[in-house]
Amino acid sequence: MIRLNLSASARWIDLAPGLRLHVLPVTTAVMASARADSALDDLSADAPREVLAVAMAKAVARQVVIGWEGVGDEDGEPLAISPEGIDALIDIWPVFEAFQEQCLGPHLVLDAEKNGSAPSPNGTSEGAIDTAKPARGRARTARQG
């Protein structure tokens, strides 16, 4: 079952102790726009999936992060949000993982679920691969026992 959150309001997510992001909902429009981000164009066609995942997370984060707490510069002074700051934050492995899980996770789970089914071009299981071997010999019924 898909549970819809019809609220378009931003929410706070805790990514690490003392680090919170204020994020807009990740919508289809956000994901489509992130896929068209120019930073993704700079990647080679055979870039590893991990590189693509980080680039996509950065593209989404640049669109949805509207506030943060617990982010400072080299001197510990609070840092204003900027695209470069968001990219640097996502480059921190635990932050990337938490952002993936809490912000992108629901969208990615649905995306993965749609890829789990065998192709069914005409509504039947025509594209599915047989997993059982054909029976040999004459079939017996329960009455023949």
Query: What are the structural domain ranges in the chain?
Result: 11-115
- Which residues, in sequence order, are bridge partners of residue 16? 19
CB atoms within 10 A of CB 96: 18
Query: What does the pLDDT profile of the chain (145 residues) look like in tens digits?
Result: 666 666 678 999 999 999 999 999 998 899 899 988 888 888 888 888 888 889 999 999 999 999 999 999 999 999 999 999 999 999 999 999 999 999 887 656 555 455 444 444 555 545 455 555 666 666 565 566 5
pLDDT in tens, 128-142: 555 556 666 665 655
CB atoms within 10 A of CB 57: 22
